[in-house]
Amino acid sequence: MGEANQIAITLPDGSTKEYPFGTAPWNIAKDISPRLGREALAAKVDGHLADLGLPLKQDATVEILTFDDEEGREVYRHSTAHVMAQAVQKLFPDVQLAIGPAIANGYYYDFDTREPFVPEDLAKIEKEMKTIIKADLPFERTELTRSEALDLFKKLGQSYKIELIEDLPEDVQISIYRQGDFTDLCMGPHVPSTGRLKSVKLLNVAGAYWRGSEKNKMLQRIYGTSFPKKSLLDEYLFRLEEAKRRDHRKLGAELDLFSIQEEGPGFPFFHPKGMILRNELENFWRKEHKKQGYQEIRTPIILSRAMWEQSGHWDHYRENMYFTKIDEGDYAVKPMNCPGSILIYKNKLHSYRELPIRMAELGLVHRHELSGVLHGLMRARCFTQDDAHIFMLPSQVKDEITGVIEMEDDFYKLFGFDYHLELSTRPDNSIGSDEIWELATDALREALEAKGLPYKVNEGDGAFYGPKIDFHLEDSLGRTWQCGTIQLDFTMPEKFDLTYIGEDGQRHRPVMLHRVVFGSIERFIGILTEHFAGAFPAWLAPIQVCVMPIAARHAEYARQIEKSLDEKGIRVENDTRNEKINYKIREAQAQKIPYMLVVGDREAEQGTVAVRHRSEGDQGSMPLVEFEDKLLEEIRTKSY
């Protein structure tokens, strides 16, 4: 403790400084530097988020948060959501307010309104938000008893807030925030005043059930975003437009890769070109897994209810499963591949000398998803998981996890993805003992730390049967996608009584590791389509070369080229249409074909091809064999 009327404040760099009793974090920020004082949004006091104006009354560790910090951005955008709610209430006085959190890259607020919002309403709301921001209204925090909070929101006529308060314990202190004449129920913290918010943009309106349940009323959800600089907002809006241009559903139709039909909502149809792309990914997957000592298997799509009860899926995953009856018995369509691998392992007795056994499966699974969350290939009701299940000795766990991490790293680097790792721990609906969960979680953590890999911990987000490491890929637009997963499982071997004969001649329990690399083939194709904007590297492109005769007299030479390329395994298309060459080039570029070979009189005479690349343009003339060698090397090395 500092001297009387003084408190000791420890900063993130470890330095300590004394301040007067009651000093607020904002004063500390200004003392560190005027710029930090201007950019400060909130604080962390002894690890807990706090308003900048909170009087500090004891020694503490203090971190000042700005927009550069993830938590700082959340405070900034949550504050903007309050400003949006204030603007909506001003323009639509009868509105009922629900909730308005910060989300990735923005915020939303849910409203109960008599009439749905229309685009013209968003423009009015955004204009009113700018007026509130210009007024620079302070965010003022007040703490009330539960009874006082109920009385306040009853007077305000806000039924959803009343419902939230009634769910809280009797003795809890409830915080509210005011800015101007607007009051909201909120834990906080918030920025000091509305004037700290600069560039705001409302994006769209969607429907959302109250508390996420379709049994409740459908509310109007307004999405928005905000940034401290207009240039940052402009950059983000550009990325949004670029994301629309790259939408895999749009490109999937334009490039004739896949479709979703009314007759099968959530069940993708792959067209011939889409199958080429898919098969190339699967062939690569098979080749790499063979190198790593995996054996490919295939297990049935439908298995008995008794097996799903034994695995725990019946109790923990039943709402996501499809069911059928066969010979009066209950069966389920598999939502996961792991029980099938377990049954293959259990089919015969194994020796410790055989372990690890690595089984890999491109297994089709079905999961019941609500229609409102379906999204092309990204969220479907059936998809193929590139699962593998490794059965191993306890002494092999660390090496096997390390091997999987290295394999996933090789896969993602090939496609140009950066990634970050997250470790997810035991969820509430888990099975297995505390001891087993601790053992599994420690094993994953130790493998990550042995590799020197940074990771984030997601408490309570593991699978019901074990903790997991997730790989979150970053695409060319900076968006993240969860793909690869490594799950360590001591529970399933116990539930299915899996054993091996040890060196001592006795039966022992193996450890099981579940993992995917692509995650889902369908979803990975969707991610790749958006990552490359449909311009797949040559080794993946459904059509790798388009031959273009300039006139009808060049058609025979074009056919010779087509035949030569085809014989070398190059996917080729011959555009013999009676169209101008510039039109053919534009069409091929729209189809994202990597190479165009233009042939006319000179090329036919000299046995050459005029090469164009879809993004680099004219590559000049070269002998056909030279072009073939160049392209085959590009395909072999999987260059992009």
Among candidates 53, 59, 50, which has minimal Cα distance to 21? Answer: 59
> Out of 1.20.950.20, 3.40.50.300, 3.40.50.720, 3.30.980.10, which CATH number does the structure's domain 73-244 have?
3.30.980.10
Q: Please, which residues have CB within 8 angstroms of residue 458's CB and are 6 or more apart in sequence?
A: 422, 423, 424, 425, 470
**Rounded (5°) CA angle 390-396-398:** 95
Catalytic residues: 338, 367, 385, 387, 389, 468, 514
Per-domain boundaries in the chain? 6-66, 73-244, 265-299+352-526, 545-636
CATH, range 6-66: 3.10.20.30
> Out of 3.40.50.300, 3.90.226.10, 3.40.50.1220, 3.40.50.800, which CATH number does the structure's domain 545-636 have?
3.40.50.800
Helices (H), 17-118: 25-32, 34-39, 70-91
**Rounded (5°) CA angle 260-257-543:** 175
Instruction: Please check whether residue 610 is in contact with residue 620, taking contact to mean a CB–CB distance below 8 angstroms.
Output: yes
DSSP H or E stretch at residue 481: strand 480-489
Q: What would the two tokens of residue 398 be? A: 């660390």
Alpha-carbon span 20 to 26, nearest angstrom: 13
Q: How many CB atoms lie within 10 A of CB 135?
A: 12
pLDDT of 637 reads 94
Q: What is the dihedral of CA 371, 372, 378, 384, to 10 degrees?
A: -20
Helices (H), 136-201: 146-156, 159-166
Alpha-carbon span 39 to 562, nearest angstrom: 62
User: Cα–chain-centroid distance for residue 362?
Assistant: 21
Q: Please, which residues have CB within 8 angstroms of residue 258's CB and are 6 or more apart in sequence?
A: 252, 268, 269, 270, 271, 274, 377, 525
End-to-end Cα separation, the chain, in angstroms: 60
Task: Look at the chain and count its residues.
Answer: 640
Q: What would the two tokens of residue 507 be? A: 């039966």
Instruction: Please check whether residue 468 is in contact with residue 512, taking contact to mean a CB–CB distance below 8 angstroms.
Output: no
Q: At what angle do helices 272-291 and 521-531 cross, to 10 degrees?
A: 110
Q: Give every residue of the chain whose pLDDT is below 50, as ranges.
A: 1-2
User: Cα–chain-centroid distance for residue 493?
Assistant: 30
pLDDT of 214 reads 83
The CATH superfamily holding the domain 265-299+352-526 is Bira Bifunctional Protein; Domain 2 (3.30.930.10)
pLDDT of 1 reads 47
**Rounded (5°) CA angle 254-260-261:** 115
